[in-house]
Amino acid sequence: MPPLFHLPLKLIAGLALAMAALVGPSQAEDTTGASSASSAYSRMVLMKGAWLFDRNCAFCHEKDGRGSVGPNLTDWYFIHGSTKDNLHEVIQNGVPEKGMPTWKSILKPTDLRLIEQYVWSIRGKDLKGKPPEGEHKPDEKAATEVAG
Ligand code: HEC
């Protein structure tokens, strides 16, 4: 049996993710923007993002982001803005006075980036949970933009 088969599956998955992180989404994409390498990369990013979300965010936003203490992240409405930059800002800095932690002082930047990609990807899933809050809604173009 080749030595690779002796490695635990988790380690192999970890290595694959680390390699994907090194290659990065821009290099992995071909000119059509839809190579199998880039979609495999995206799937891995979103899986890791979902895993991290589950451990750090689900306590207040529920598993899958449908909201409980914190807002539902799967509708199209946002309190603090609907752009990628807005989401980045609110996740990094939090809203301490409302109970949303300042994540940049808790998690590594690389983990936060994966979480941000995941949060971006669940917009519009409209999971039954906390009713929509906030006035900010993305325009059609931003709504169809993929995580990246
Ligand atoms: C201790 C509870 C708590 C945890 C844990 C938490 N949040 Fe929040 N989150 C909140 C609350 C409360 C708000 C609403 C803030 C407000 O009303 O201004 C919020 C708001 C947000 C918003 C802005 C939503 C909008 O409508 O603008 C995003 C995005 C978000 N959280 C993502 C995350 C992510 C990602 C994590 C994990 C890394 C996380 N939250 C963990 C409580 C939490």
Atom 42 of ligand 1, residue of closest alpha carbon: 100
Mean pLDDT of the chain: 85
Please give the pLDDT value at position 140. 76
- 95 token code pair: 């809203």
Distances in Å between the Cα of 35 and the Cα atoms of 12, 29, 145 are: 22, 6, 17
Q: Residue range 56-81: average pLDDT?
A: 97
Spatial separation of the C-alpha atoms in residues 22 and 27, rounded to whole Å? 10
| Residue 28 clears pLDDT 50, i.e. is over it | no
CB of 101 sitting under 6 A from ligand 1:
yes
Cα(137) to ligand 1 centroid in Å equals 17
Spatial separation of the C-alpha atoms in residues 3 and 49, rounded to whole Å? 30
Spatial separation of the C-alpha atoms in residues 49 and 99, rounded to whole Å? 22
CB of 73 sitting under 6 A from ligand 1:
yes
Nearest atom within ligand 1 for CA of residue 107: 38
Residue with tokens 């906390």: 130
For residues 9 and 17, is the Cβ–Cβ distance under 8 A?
no
Cα(70) to ligand 1 centroid in Å equals 5
CB of 122 sitting under 6 A from ligand 1:
no
For residues 4 and 12, is the Cβ–Cβ distance under 8 A?
yes
Q: Could you report the per-residue pLDDT of 88-123, keeping only the tens digit for each?
A: 999 999 999 999 999 999 999 999 999 999 999 999
Domains of the chain: 7-144 (1.10.760.10)
Whole-structure pTM value: 0.80
Could you tell which of 100, 106, 108 is best to mutate to test the pocket of ligand 1, judged by most ligand atoms within 8 Å of the CB? Answer: 100
CA-wise closest residue to 18 among 38, 44, 53: 44
Residues sharing a CB contact under 8 Å with residue 135, sequence separation 6 or more, in sequence order: 77, 79
